[in-house]
Structure 1
C-alpha cells in the first residue's frame, strides 16, 4: 500500500509534467501556421498582379511563337513548331535591326553612365543653388518620351530648328536634315536617348556618392592623392555595385526602347534606326504576323538574358578576385 501510494503520484505527476510540453508544441505550431497564413495573405495581393500582367502575357507570347497566329478578327491558327524560328535565321532585315539595336543600346548606356557620373559628381559638390540644380537635372526624366521626341524633332528640324540656326550663326552648314540623313540619323537619336535617360543614372549615382564616408577622401588627400587618384581609388570602387546595377538596367531599357525612336524616325531613313522592338512591332501590327513577331520577341529576350548574364558574371568574378 505504501509503495503503491508512493509511486502513483510520481507517475501521475510525470504525466502531468509531459502534457504542458505537448500543448506548448501545439501552441508553437499554431503560431507558426498563423504566421505562414499571414505571410501568404500579405504576398498574394502583390503577387497576383505580377502573375496576371507579367507572367501570363509572357507565357502566352512564348506559346504564340510556335504557331502561325495572325492578327485577324476571328483568329484560327495551328502549331507550326520551330518554323518561325527557322524563318528568322534567313531574315536579314531582322538581324540588321538587331545589330542596330546593339549599337544603340551600348552607345546610349555607356554615354548615359559617363554623363550621369560627371553630373552626379558636380551635384555632389558644394554648389550654390544646389537644390534648384538638382531639380533642373530631373526635368528630362519627368517628361513623357513622346513629348521629348516631338521637342527634339523641332530642334533637329532642317528648316526652322534651333540647332541648324546655331550652326548657321557660327558659319557652319545649316541645312542638315539630322533625322533623314543616313549618316546622322542614328547619332542624332542616340543623343536624345542619352538626354532622356541621364537623370535616372545621375540620381542613382548621386545617392551612392552621398553614402561614401568623407573620411576616405580626406585620408587619401592627406596621403597626397590628387582628384583623379581619389576618384579611381576611393569613389569608383565604392560605386562599383551601383554602376553594375544601373548599367544592367539601362541596357535592358535602352534595348527595349520603342516610343522614342518611333516618334523620331519610325525606323528610317532606310532602316538606319530600325531597332528590334520597332521591327517586331511593325511585323505584329502592320503585317499582322503575331506568331512570327512573338518568335522575334523570344529570341530578343534570350539574347538579352545571355548578354546580361555574361556581363554580371564577369563583374562578380572581378569582385571576388579583388
Structure 2
C-alpha cells in the first residue's frame, strides 16, 4: 500500500461534472490522475447526479476523453431513480418523465411506461435534468403531482458547472414545480442522499472508499451521510468561501486544488489544519477574529483558516496582514 492519500483507500468514487470534466472537456490533470489509479489497480467508480445520460453513454464519453470506463463502474441518478420507481410501482405503471431521453430509457428498461401528459394519469412523475426541459412539460408535471402522482426528483443540484460559470441545474427546474405546488418532491434520489455512494461501495466490495467531489451540498454532504471520507477539489462549484462557511454535515476530510491531491501525503491535504504556522503562512486568533499573515500555497492558507471558522470565527472576522493574504481573501470574495 502506498503512503500517499489514495493508498489508504480501496475504492475511489468520483463525481464527474466539475471533477473529471466540465461539460465535454476533461479538467486538466484528470485523465492522468485516473490513469495513474488504473496503473496501480485501484478500483474506481463514477457517481453522478446528472440524469441526462445513461451509464453506458457516460462510460463512452469518459473513454472518448481518454479516461477508460466500463458501464458497470458508472452510477447515475437516472438509473437509481428508475430503480426506486420500479420498487414502488406495479410493472407497466405510467410514469411522466421530465428530463432527457436517457431518463425515459431508464424508466422503460425498469418495466414502467413513460408518458408525456397528466391526462395519461401517471402514477408518478420523475424529474431529472435535460437541456430541453421547458414550460410545457413542467406544467404537465405540476398537474400530475397535484392530481396525486408520486413526485421523484433525480437530484436537486441548483447549478451545473461549465467553462462559462454555473448554469441552472435540475434543482432550479425542480424549484419551478415546487413553487407552483408549494411542496417538496416526495423522494430525492441522488446526492446528498447516500445511495449512490453505498451502492458503489457494495458493488466493489470496498471497505474503505474515498469520495471525490466538487460540491459541498451534494458530493461531500452525501459522503458524510454515507459515512465515507471525502476529498473536495476546487475545480468546480464550491470554492474556498463555501468551504470556510461549511457546517458539519458538509465538511470534507481533505481539500486540494485538483485531483493531484490524491497522490500527495494525506496530512498535506487534511482539513482543518490545526497549527499556528504552515507553508509560509501564519494564523493568529484573537476571540472572534483570525489574522492571516505571510505567503505560500493558497490551499494551505485555506486549511489554516478552516480551523478558525469551523470553531467559531465568522467570515467577517477573517483579516489579512500581508499583501499575499489580502490578495487571497480578495480573490475569495472575503
Structure number with greater CO (CA < 8 Å, separation at least 6) is: 1
Relative to its length, the structure with more helix (as a share) is 1
Q: Fold conserved (TM > 0.5)? A: no
| Superposition TM-score, scaled by structure 2 size | 0.22
* Larger Rg computed on CA atoms: 1
Larger strand percent: 2
TM-score by length of 1: 0.22
